[in-house]
Amino acid sequence: MAVERYLLPPEGSDRRLLAAYRQAGGYAAAARALREMTPEAVVEEVKASGLRGRGGAGFTTGQKWSFMPKPGGPKPSYLACNADESEPGTFKDRQIMERNPHLFLEGLIIAGYAIHARAAYVYIRGEYVTAFRILSKALGEACDAGLLGKGLFGTDREYDIHLMRGAGAYICGEETGMIESAEGRKGQPRKRPPFPAVYGLWGCPTTVNNVETVSHVPAIITRGAAWFKSIGTPTSTGNTLFGVSGHVNRPGVYELPLGTRLREIIETHAGGVRGGRALKAIIPGGVSMPVLSAEQVDVAMDHESLKQVGTLLGTGGIVVMDETTCMVRAALVISRFFRHETCGQCTQCREGTAWLYQLLHRIEAGEGSDVDLKTIESVGGYMEGQTICALSDAAAWAATGFLRRFRPEFEAHVHKRRCPLPESFEA
Amino acid sequence: MSAAVGGAAVLSDAVKDAIRTEVGKYPQPRSALLIALHLVQDEIGYVPLEAQRQVAGLLGIRPIEVREVVSFYPMYHEHPVGRRNIQVCVNIACALAGARQVVRALEERLGVAAGEGTSDGAYSLEEVQCLGSCGTAVCVQVNNEPYIEGVRSDGIDDLLRKVC
Ligand SMILES: Cc1cc2nc3c(=O)[nH]c(=O)nc-3n(C[C@H](O)[C@H](O)[C@H](O)COP(=O)(O)O)c2cc1C
Ligand code: SF4
Ligand code: FES
Per the CB < 8 Å rule, is A90 touching B61? no
Spatial distance between the Cα atoms of B92 and A419, rounded to a whole number of angstroms: 18
| Range A56-92 burial, b when 16+ CB lie within 10 A, else e | bebebbbebbbebeeeeeeebbbbbbbbbbbbbbbbb
Per the CB < 8 Å rule, is B76 touching A91? no
Q: Is B28 on the interface with A (CB under 8 A)?
A: yes
Q: Grade residue B9 by pLDDT with cuts at 50, 70 and 90.
A: low
In terms of Cβ atoms closer than 10 Å to its own Cβ (0-12, 13-18, 19+), residue A327 is buried
3-state secondary structure of A179: helix
Element (H, E) at A412: helix A407-416
Spatial distance between the Cα atoms of B61 and B69, rounded to a whole number of angstroms: 12
pTM for the model stands at 0.97
Nearest CA in chain B to A127: B144
Spatial distance between the Cα atoms of A261 and A257, rounded to a whole number of angstroms: 10
CA distances from A102 to A92, A129, B26, B73, B131 (A): 16, 17, 23, 30, 23
Are A294 and A281 within 8 A, CB to CB? yes
Whether omega before A290 lies within 30 degrees of 0, making that bond cis, reads: no
Are A141 and A161 within 8 A, CB to CB? no
CA distances from B160 to A350, B82, B84, B104 (A): 37, 14, 10, 14
Per the CB < 8 Å rule, is A168 touching B134? no
In this structure, the number of other CB atoms found within 10 A of the CB of residue A1 comes to 4
Which residue ranges have their beta carbon within 6 Å of ligand 1? A 53-57, 59, 64, 82, 84-87, 171, 173-175, 208-210, 213, 389-391
Alpha carbon A157 to chain centroid, angstroms: 31
CA distances from A392 to A72, A288, A352, A389, B26 (A): 39, 10, 8, 7, 32
Are A119 and A77 within 8 A, CB to CB? no
If you ran DSSP here, which 8-state letter would residue A172 be given? G
Contacts of B149 in chain A (CB under 8 A): none
Amino acid at A396: A
Q: What is the mean pLDDT of chain B?
A: 94
3-state secondary structure of A65: helix
Amino acid at A66: S
For B120, phi then psi, to 5°, come to -85, 5
Given a cut of 70, whether residue B1 has pLDDT beyond it is: no
Sort strands A317-322 and A279-283 into parallel, antiparallel or unpaired. antiparallel
Spatial distance between the Cα atoms of B18 and B70, rounded to a whole number of angstroms: 19
- In this prediction, residue A1 carries a pLDDT of 57
Identity of the residue in B73, B76, B134 whose CB atom sits nearest the CB atom of A91: B134
Spatial distance between the Cα atoms of B29 and A34, rounded to a whole number of angstroms: 31
Identity of the residue in A170, A181, A425 whose CB atom sits nearest the CB atom of B96: A425
3-state secondary structure of B159: helix
Listing DSSP states for B4-51 in one string gives: HHHHHHSPPHHHHHHHHHHHTTSSSGGGGHHHHHHHHHHHHSS--HHH
Spatial distance between the Cα atoms of A424 and A383, rounded to a whole number of angstroms: 29
Per the CB < 8 Å rule, is B73 touching A168? yes
- In this prediction, residue B8 carries a pLDDT of 53
- In this prediction, residue A269 carries a pLDDT of 98
What percentage of chain B reaches a pLDDT higher than 90?
92
- In this prediction, residue A320 carries a pLDDT of 98
Long-range contacts, stretch B19-26, CB < 8 angstroms, 24+ apart: B19/B55, B19/B58, B19/B59, B20/B58, B23/B58, B23/B59, B25/A162, B26/A162
- In this prediction, residue B6 carries a pLDDT of 44
Nearest CA in chain A to B129: A337
For A181, phi then psi, to 5°, come to -65, -40
Listing DSSP states for B99-130 in one string gives: HHHHHHHHHHHHT--TT-B-TTSSEEEEEE--
Given a cut of 80, whether residue B126 has pLDDT beyond it is: yes
In this structure, the number of other CB atoms found within 10 A of the CB of residue B59 comes to 22
Q: Grade residue B50 by pLDDT with cuts at 50, 70 and 90.
A: very high
- In this prediction, residue B163 carries a pLDDT of 85
Spatial distance between the Cα atoms of A143 and A140, rounded to a whole number of angstroms: 5
**Can you give the pLDDT of all 427 residues of chain A as single tens digits?**
578 999 999 989 999 999 999 999 999 999 999 999 999 999 999 999 999 999 999 999 999 999 999 999 999 999 999 999 999 999 999 999 999 999 999 999 999 999 999 999 999 999 999 999 999 999 999 999 999 999 999 999 999 999 999 999 999 999 999 999 999 999 999 999 999 999 999 999 999 999 999 999 999 999 999 999 999 999 999 999 999 999 999 999 999 999 999 999 999 999 999 999 999 999 999 999 999 999 999 999 999 999 999 999 999 999 999 999 999 999 999 999 999 999 999 999 999 999 999 999 999 999 999 999 999 999 999 999 999 999 999 999 999 999 999 999 999 999 999 999 999 999 9
Q: What is the complex's ipTM, to 2 decimals? A: 0.96
Listing DSSP states for A215-267 in one string gives: HTHHHHHHH-HHHHHTSB-SSSBSEEEEEEEESBSS-EEEEEETT-BHHHIII
Closest CA to A159 of A113, A104, A100: A113
Spatial distance between the Cα atoms of A36 and A29, rounded to a whole number of angstroms: 10
Sort strands B84-89 and A239-246 into parallel, antiparallel or unpaired. unpaired
